Amino acid sequence: MRRRVVVTGLGVVSPVGTGLERFWGALVEGRSGVRRISRFDPTGLPTQIAAEVVDFDPTDFMDRKEARRNDRFVQFGYAAARMALEDAGLQITPQNATRVGVMIGSGIGGAITWEEQHHILQTRGPDRISPFFIPMIIMNMASGIT
């Protein structure tokens, strides 16, 4: 028997907008998400532009404590999954939990946390590294906490 997959809901966190309506509206208008880098000072780098996600507040989707314990890529994945569930009108229950999945595409995750923790290691020593370091950088954490 062949099993079929049905996409029932969509969620988007992107440089042109968070949420399906903002994202789609930006695409229809031909708006670009590429702009001058704002998350850090790009002075001295060969490029000054990037497609950064701006105006994203993880506490719109998870509590503050959970947000602090997760890298930004996990926050994005979690937020998109929550939006997709809402879009689908789907409540996860013990009866359907094994039939619900999350698909996330990313080349690398946890780079921000990796860099921060490396700096802490270099400047303050190994005892100051966060106990959440590994969970914060694991690629499947975004779907795992969903």
**Domain-by-domain residue ranges, the chain?**
13-144
User: Which residues have CB under 8 Å from 40's CB, separation 6+?
Assistant: none
Say what the pLDDT of residue 36 is: 97
Asked which of 34-38, 67-71, 105-109, 114-118 is least confident by mean pLDDT, the reply is 105-109
Residue keyed to tokens 């994005």: 76
| Other Cβ atoms closer than 10 A to 70 | 24
Question: 22 is written with which tokens?
Answer: 């903002």
Percent of the residues in the chain that have a pLDDT greater than 90, as a whole number: 62
Return the CATH number of the domain spanning residue range 13-144. Answer: 3.40.47.10
Q: How far is CA 146 from each of CA 34, 38, 46, 88, rounded to the nearest angstrom?
A: 29, 29, 37, 15
pLDDT exceeds cutoff 80 at 77: yes
Q: Quote the pTM value.
A: 0.83
Question: 70 is written with which tokens?
Answer: 């997760």
Rounded CA separation 33/16 (Å): 5
